[in-house]
A and B are shown apart, each in its own frame.
Chain A
Amino acid sequence: MPDAIAPHVDFQYSDVRHQADTAIAGMWLFLATEMLFFGGLILAWLFCRHWQQAGFDAGSRETLIAFGTINLVVLLTASLTFAAGLAWIRLGRTRRLVQCCWLTAALGMLFLMLKSIEWYTDIAGRLFPAGAFKLTGAEADGARLFWSFYFVSTGLHAAHMIAGVGLLCWLALRARQGSFSAQWHTPVEVVGLYWSFVDVVWIMLYPLIYLIGRGA
């Protein structure tokens, strides 16, 4: 058995388990940095909203909640399909993993497509905070600030999605070559952590963007 798995071990590790655990620990730590990255953004967002709540809520009511909600469902489903892929490869079912990766990547693309249409509609509706703006009056400043946060946060989230879809395609190709087995599939687990994190970010952003303002 050690001979069969040896090719996956870099020379600084004692065995394949050692390497796998280390890679997973590294990804968790990376996600901690990501949490502080998005956490800083969300903190600034809530801070600004606290001072200009009326403007933020007026801005929030202009958002397209249907797009946001469908995207939430799409992303949650994408996490499900990827988790299924991980479960399959643990059983050694490579072909199923490949299918799950492609399906997840397709759902990710669907998310990005819907997001693009949403952005296009927003901008066409003069909701981009720079230049001529749809809202006027006392709430305009706060609403502009809301839309600044909207574009920064969804833009950063989309950038993470694009990276994630790229990783999924890479996984699918590697899986098709038979790189992963029931014994060794660390990249699948590592990418899975990342993909779930991107999902969690959207779960945080969704109420911030679409719900809080409407509820107030």
Chain B
Amino acid sequence: MSDHAQTAADDLTLAQPSYLEDGVTLRSWLLSTDHKRIAILYMVSITVFFFLGGAAAALIRYNLIIPQGALASAELYNRLFSMHGVLMVWFFLVPAVPVTIGNFILPLMLGARDLAFPRLNLLSWYLFVAAGIAVVAALFAGGIDTGWTFYEPLSSDYAQGHVVLAVTGVFIAGFSSIATGLNFIVTIHRLRAPGLTWYRLPIFVWSLYSTSVIMVLATPVLAITLVLLAFETIFHVGVFDPRLGGDPLLFQHMFWFYSHPAVYIMILPGLGVVSEIIPVFARKTLFGYKFVAWASVAIAVIGFFVWGHHMFVSGQSAYASVLFSMLSFLVAVPSAIKVFNWLGTLHKGHIRFDAPMLYALGFIGLFTMGGLTGLFLAALAADIQLHDTYFVIAHFHYIMVGGMVSAYFGALHYWWPKISGRMYPEMIARAAALLMFVGFNLTFFPQFLLGYLGMPRRYHSYPPEFQLLNVLSSAGASILAVAYLMPLAYLTWSLLRGSRAPANPWHALGLEWQTPSPPAACNFVVTPVVTGPPYAYPTSEARPFDA
């Protein structure tokens, strides 16, 4: 596009009202089919669930300060960790980045005016809210004590809570996630701007695509599993219950066929976010673009064939275990490719430590640590020792919280100027990022040691010799809580008092930065034409900050 045409297009775009000004009534938000508004609706919803799940985590850590358990009963403790798991997995981690940042940014990155199916997008939010209400109702009506995994027959024959209601909620949430995944896949195939070939797509789009494939193909299996579970619980017939002629291992296979790929639903968008942030703040083109892009796809594909590693001690065939173990090691390869490529990108870059970059760098460290400890667990012999101990808890929290939550906050800060049209306060944001890193490590590193020493997960009390490490972990959790509350406060503040954001505060390439902040309701008045690769740093417009 020539400069003259560009200016004319800019004038046209500036004349459009931003998506925030396009209607102020509640109705204009709740019935909006604008992907940007739906992203905001989602953002508010998952923030509520995040803090509810976080409150449960705080009580868990409070209980574990003293060996005999600070809370009154083991039953209450069981219900707390179940609530924490269910809310965090299905109502925060699975949707977090795709439905908020992805929903907002994906069409902008593609040069599209909306997702392919805007009404389906709105429907997915309503399904999500309905699901959330069902689950929260179940949790507050007395809760469930099965953990987030709903293992049979604990969840049917021995259930002491509102399992069917909670499972209904998760079932509905699954359809919300299928709707989102379907919408993303079709959008990425069909609504790319002219010239935006697959190898010109930002890595975030590749990772959302991979995530969506898992959502669309794995979630239905969870849905049918939960249908069978509910049928069994309501009518007391045995599909999974061994006393009634069913097979509990069948449940575990079907559950993990979804839930292991779901781990990659949770982490892949984070990998995409980091791949976006690092080139911008290192002022360098992404090292090995094609490898990073295909690594996302490889993780998604291999991720479908590793579920058995959750069942090494379940009595499944030893041959199956060997196979699942090897495949689990294999999934480390594309993950490592990503880490090395980020390091390659950072090498000799002009690095700037803004808050998004701090989160991204924190992500690399914590993700690497979580990934490497995953290799311990993929090893059959080590897993027999470490299975169901705090080592597992520490491992997946390094990926899920250290990795994914860091990536979510990184993405939130990076795109906040675009989303809100306001700048967040930089120094306090950097402080929060550092505090989060410190608090996180203090919370979860001791848990590796606890697990190695043999402390099992999901117990209300523990032998006194584990107290020191547990107290350290709980102390870390309190720091983490503060670090999570800080962005809630200052980002809210910035909505009202933050300085106005320019269209492209980071001097980043990418179509989303060519729109004003906040973008117009229709995104692009004139459909942009893409003529080059996504990370062509440094350029004349996007040169090193300090050059």
Known: A141-B245, A152-B231. A40 touches B220 (CB 8 A): yes
Question: With A22-B190, A25-B190 as given contacts, are A144 and B245 in contact (CB-CB < 8 Å)?
Answer: yes
Among A10, A22, A26: residue with most chain B CB under 10 A: A26
A20-52 residues at the B interface, CB under 8 angstroms: 21-22, 25-26, 29-30, 32-41, 44, 47-48, 51-52
Residues of B within 8 A of A40 (CB): 220-221, 224-225, 254, 257
The 9 closest A-B CB pairs, nearest first, are A141-B245, A37-B220, A130-B235, A36-B220, A40-B221, A40-B224, A129-B237, A12-B113, A12-B114
B223 within 8 A of A: yes
Contact A29–B216 (Cβ < 8 Å): yes
B522 contacts A11, C-beta separation under 8 Å: yes
Contact of A25 among B107, B189, B224, B238 (CB under 8 A): B189
B354 at the interface (CB under 8 A from A): no
Give chain A interface residues in 117-170, CB to chain B under 8 Å: 128-130, 141-142, 144-145, 148-149, 151-152, 156
**B246 interface hit (Cβ, 8 Å):** yes
| A8 touches B (CB below 8 Å) | no
**Cβ contacts A to B, 29 pairs, < 8 Å:** A10-B118, A12-B112, A12-B113, A12-B118, A12-B191, A14-B527, A22-B116, A22-B191, A25-B186, A26-B117, A26-B186, A29-B182, A32-B216, A36-B218, A37-B223, A40-B220, A40-B221, A40-B225, A41-B227, A41-B228, A44-B224, A44-B228, A44-B254, A48-B250, A52-B245, A142-B245, A144-B238, A145-B239, A148-B235
The secondary structure that dominates the B interface is helix
Contacts of A176 in B (CB 8 A): none
Instruction: Judge whether B185 is part of the interface by a CB distance below 8 angstroms.
Output: yes
How far apart are the CA atoms of A32 and B217 in the complex, in Å? 7
What residues of A have a CB within 8 angstroms of the CB of B115 in the complex?
A: 12
- Within the assembled complex, what's the spacing in Å between the Cα atoms of A128 and B107? 50
Q: Determine the main DSSP class of A at the interface with B.
A: helix
B10 at the interface (CB under 8 A from A): no
- A30 touching B182 in the complex, CB below 8 Å, given contacts A21-B190, A36-B221: yes
Contact B247 A41, beta carbon cutoff 8 Å? no
Extra pairs beyond A41-B227, A152-B231 (5, CB < 8 Å): A29-B182, A29-B186, A40-B257, A55-B245, A130-B237
Binary interface profile of A, 45-69, with partner B (CB < 8 Å = 1, else 0)? 0011001100100000000000000
- B residues engaging A (CB < 8 A)? 107, 112-118, 120, 178, 182-183, 185-186, 189-191, 216-221, 223-225, 227-228, 231-232, 235-239, 244-247, 250, 254, 257, 522, 527
Q: How far is the CB of B129 from chain A (nearest CB, A)?
A: 21
Task: Give the CA-CA distance A35 to B113 in the complex, in Å.
Answer: 31
A binding-site residues for B, Cβ under 8 Å? 10-14, 18, 21-22, 25-26, 29-30, 32-41, 44, 47-48, 51-52, 55, 128-130, 141-142, 144-145, 148-149, 151-152, 156
Identify which of B224, B231, B238 contacts A37 (C-beta below 8 A).
B224
A47/B237 in contact, CB under 8 A: no
CB-nearest residue of chain B to A141:
B245
Residues in chain B near residue A48, CB distance under 8 A: 239, 246-247, 250
CB distance from B157 to the nearest CB of A (A): 13
Contact count A vs B, C-beta below 8 Å: 110
A33 touches B178 (CB 8 A): yes
A18 to chain B, nearest CB (A): 7
Chain B residues within 8 Å of A52, by CB = 245
- Nearest CB on A from B37, distance (A): 15
CB distance from A101 to the nearest CB of B (A): 23
A153 to chain B, nearest CB (A): 10
Alpha-carbon separation in the docked complex, A40 to B244 (Å):
21
Rounded to whole angstroms, the CA-CA distance of A87 and B271 in the bound complex is 47
Q: Which residues of A contact B238 (CB under 8 A)?
A: 141, 144-145, 148
Q: In the bound complex, do residue A130 and residue B190 qualify as a contact, i.e. CB atoms below 8 Å apart?
A: no
Residue of B nearest to A26 (CB): B186
B182, B237, B250 interface centre (most CB from chain A within 10 Å): B237
Most buried by B among A18, A149, A151, A152: A152
Is B237's CB under 8 angstroms from A145's CB?
Answer: yes
CA gap between A78 and B228 in the complex, in Å: 29
**Nearest-Cβ distance from residue A77 to partner chain B, whole angstroms:** 29
A162 to B117: give the CA distance in the assembly, Å.
Answer: 23
Judge whether A29 and B220 touch: CB under 8 Å. Answer: no
Residues of A within 8 A of B217 (CB): 32-33, 36
> How far apart are A41's CB and chain B's nearest CB, in angstroms?
5
CA distance A14 to B223 in the complex (A): 36
Inter-chain CA distance A145–B250, complex, in Å, is 14
Minimum CB distance partner of B218 in chain A: A36
Q: Does the CB pair B117–A51 fall under 8 Å? A: no
Nearest CB of B to A204, in Å: 14
Nearest B residue to A129, CB-CB:
B237
Q: Is there an interface contact between A33 and B216, defined as CB atoms closer than 8 Å?
A: yes
Query: What is the bound-complex CA distance between A25 and B191, given in angstroms?
Result: 12
CA of A22 to CA of B117 in the docked complex: distance in angstroms?
Answer: 9
What CA separation (Å) do A78 and B197 show in the bound complex? 42
Across the two chains, which residue of chain B brings its CB closest to A130? Answer: B235
